[in-house]
Amino acid sequence: MPWSTWSMNDWATRGERTADYDLLLDLPAARAAAGGGARAGLERALREAVRDGRLSPGTRLPSSRVLAGDLGLARNTVADAYAQLVAEGWLTARQGSGTTVAPRPAAVPGRAERAPVRRTPVAPVELVPDNATGLPYSLWPGSPDLSSFPRAAWSAAARRALAAAPNEAFGYTDPRGRPELRAALSTYLARVRGVRTDPEHLMICTGYVQGVGLLARALYGRGARRIAVEALGFPDTRTLLRTAGLETVPLDVDGDGARVDRLDGSAQAVLLTPAHQFPTGVPLSPGRRTAVTGWARSTGAVILEDDYDGEFRYDRQPVGALQGLAPGHVVYAGTASKSLAPGLRLAWLALPPHLLDAVVREKRMADHHSPVLDQLTLAEFIGSGAYDRHVRRMRLHYRARRDRLVAALAEHAPHVRVSGIAAGLHAVLELPPETGPLQALVDRAHALGLALSGLPVYGAPTAHAPTSLVIGYATPPDHAFSGALSRLCEVLSPG
């Protein structure tokens, strides 16, 4: 479905920061339902976001100026919509404090009921792609620009979090993770990704790999034996699923994402990257999103949604989380590894109530709970708005890098077709047949000191798929990016 959000213009032309945030709004659908009027559509979209809990009480909304600019509306239209919702009691506005979601005495309709947690206890499996080549330059995908980690802002958040932490935070805590972080994530994921959950059904994991392992073992313990996976994807994930006892069934990937039409009753679960298929970069089409959630409802199967880089989009409207369409059948998996750094070892699962107890038991057996201090810091980082500001800044940074990559290839290797670049941190370079064997090209890059990744690393492409490279343009630090690009162009240049 089409979604609208405001863009990443939190860095003004002189470098100033604003306090505005990302928000996922189904504005086109709301305008259609409201009869096509811009103001009525915005009012309806905001009202629905508050009503269904994606915007929780106290959530601050962007200024009318920023929201108007990012949505392409007149500022008066946004201001009038805000004023109407304030008059209706959905929002509150105070001079100097901005516009926020009003408190509500009643529980949010549609939120999952609190499920009892049985605190009972399989060791985590941590698998890392082998991209440690020792070469001075790397365009290997899967990592952000580590040199851009927000050290000062993170350090300030850590000091505030440590000062405010209750004494009990330093003891053995809930296997699901600290309540401060689960509450902050519940609000953030609803606002930015359209995830429908609450803090009780969120679990903090020591990385995405641990989260997948916990869920896989829980599914196996409940009788699942087969899980469908995209034929192209992170190879370690398939290994991890098999280690948990699950047989992996490949699903072909095309221009509309995974071929979910080929799912049947033989698989009890499916793992998808619907917002930005890894590594092809295509989103799961609206028809297939509807089809796979319908399949899960009719069969009782579970969908694991890997939203590994859903916050980074550039040339298209953001795709809301699949979980929002079927919260009772989708496990949403998110991570700070791409938005911040993999070294934090912070990821999260939004779990349907019927899976919560089983996954909590697995987490307790694995390590009881994830480290506390970074959880508290991330909660403070999100709550203060620093996380939104960092993500928006990095969008601009990665988009500029992507544009440099595309421009360099257009100049030096125009025969190479670039795809999968509307979102995310990597691109797919489709090479013409005359390029020759892919391994020879990778070896030539290695001789120049550049690490490259070919598409076959991530699975078996279809018989007619072109020879392709998967280029992680986020990976190099700033000082190495130009050198990596020049070596790539040298490798790909004709002759």
What pLDDT, in 10s, does the model give residues 410-442? Answer: 999 999 999 999 999 999 999 998 888 898 999
Q: List Cα–Cα distances, 347 to 60, 122, 128, 374, 377, in angstroms.
A: 25, 18, 15, 11, 14
CB 31 within 8 A of CB 49: no
What's residue 229's pLDDT?
Answer: 96
72: left (phi over 0), alpha (psi -120 to 50) or beta: left
Higher pLDDT, 84 or 162: 162
CATH of 388-492, one of 3.30.70.360, 3.90.1150.10, 3.40.50.410, 3.40.1260.10: 3.90.1150.10
347-374 average pLDDT score: 96
Cβ-based neighbours of 112, under 8 Å, separated by 6 or more: 197, 198, 200, 201, 327, 328, 352, 353
CATH code of domain 150-385 = 3.40.640.10
What's residue 44's pLDDT?
Answer: 85
Q: What CATH class has 1-110?
A: mainly alpha
Question: Average pLDDT of the chain?
Answer: 86
Distance of alpha carbon 408 from alpha carbon 347, whole angstroms: 35
**Model confidence, pTM:** 0.80
Domain range summary for the chain, segments of one domain joined by +: 1-110, 150-385, 388-492
Confidence label for 56 from pLDDT (cuts 50, 70 and 90): confident
